[in-house]
Amino acid sequence: MSSAFAYRSSIFHAEAVPVPRIAEAYGTPFYCYARAELHRAYDDLASALQECGALICFAVKANGNLSIIRSFAERGAGADVVSVGELHRALAAGVPPEKIIFSGVGKTRAEIDAALATGIYQFNAESIPELEVLNAAGATLGRKIPLALRVNPDVDPRTHAKISTGRKATKFGIAVEQTGQALAAVQQLPQLDLCGIAMHIGSQLTAIQPFDEAFGVMAALVAEWRAAGHDIRRLDLGGGIGIRYAEETPPTPAAYAALVKKHFSGLKLQIAVEPGRFLTGNAGILVSRVIYAKRGGAKNFLILDAAMNDLMRPAMYDSWHDIVPVQAMPGSAVEHWDVVGPVCETSDLFGQDRALPALQSGDLVAFMGAGAYGASMASTYNARVLIQEIMADGDLFSLIRRPVNIEEQIAWDTDPVWVR
């Protein structure tokens, strides 16, 4: 549990703010982020990588709130984006374009044109057909494309299959055995400035060995490509450092940085890394209110006002999030609950057989480790309100994304032209 979220006099706090005070001000459910924890995570990683001179590019897909992105940009971070929408968010939050990396397997020509016009740091190309589109965009705008080839090292990241990107059976990157073909293609495309190699083997890595294996592949490729006459001066190592949700012991920033030094020290490379979950995961909680405590039958159910559309990870990945009562109940009898939401899906399940006090309608609970891939994956499924977000900073708290209510959602729709 992050130290930014803790009990004080039996009441759960976000930094120095009692969580019930936020619920009273804004209602539930909501995400709440602790600014101090965002800064602590970034500073820990930046300090560990200081000797490497690494550019830390926050992976916007983890949490696209402008206040979150800005909190890192103010400390010198760049951004890793995978869509033109994320590009615009990064720019709006104050990230300099020269610190933005555009990744992703399916960049459209329109997205490439928009990013190229801003003068971003580099494009990470993931296929040979993409190289031709990048070259055409550069020719149209009269610009050289700063290019890194994303290589798929075929390393098992030992993480959930749905967030594993480093095996060659996935859609990501160019297989090592196809890099010769990719390099030959680059030589025929004059608008491409091949300056780097990129990788990203997966998310929520809790073992250090996959990084070690993948970095070894990258170091060998740098030597090989330089020997072939390519001016490789940049290396993008992607992200992937995990956080603790249950009993994991993920790599520390120091252990990660030691591997970077082991493989790349002396190679005179400009290193970039793309952390997402590591920076925001433990800095956020989801707060929800019990609607009903439903006892009897084969199970006891805590039915909350948050649902799978607000926090998709348990339904999509069978993910674990610690669930804690906002009001501590020392000495209270513990019961076993299936914690669920009101969405009309059996998969709207946050946790099974969770040991919790005898909670009642109106009680508040908090989901820990919800700062990454929570709000960014939220939807309006079942025509539910798109969830709000709050930031705490010391004894202050403020709304940083308002909820999108049903009236606004209805206004998004329009009749077909023949009905008007």
Catalytic residues: 344
Interacting residues of 72 by C-beta distance below 8 A, sequence separation 6+: 38, 42, 56, 58, 279
Answer yes or no: are the C-beta atoms of 199 and 216 closer than 8 Å. no
> In sequence order, what are the beta bridge partners of 59?
80
The alpha carbon of 296 is separated from its chain's Cα centroid by a whole number of angstroms, namely: 39
DSSP code string of 285-321: EEEEEEEEEE--TT--EEEES--TTT--HHHHH----
Report the distance separating Cα 71 and Cα 94, nearest Å: 10
| Among candidate residues 320, 322, 318, 358, the one with its CA nearest the CA of residue 337 | 358
- What is residue 216's three-state secondary structure? helix
Question: Looking at residue 342, what DSSP letter applies?
Answer: S
Report the distance separating Cα 314 and Cα 303, nearest Å: 15
Report the distance separating Cα 71 and Cα 28, nearest Å: 25
> In sequence order, what are the beta bridge partners of 366?
287, 324
The residue assigned the tokens 């390099």 is 183
Residue 257, burial from CB neighbour count under 10 angstroms (0-12, 13-18, 19+): buried
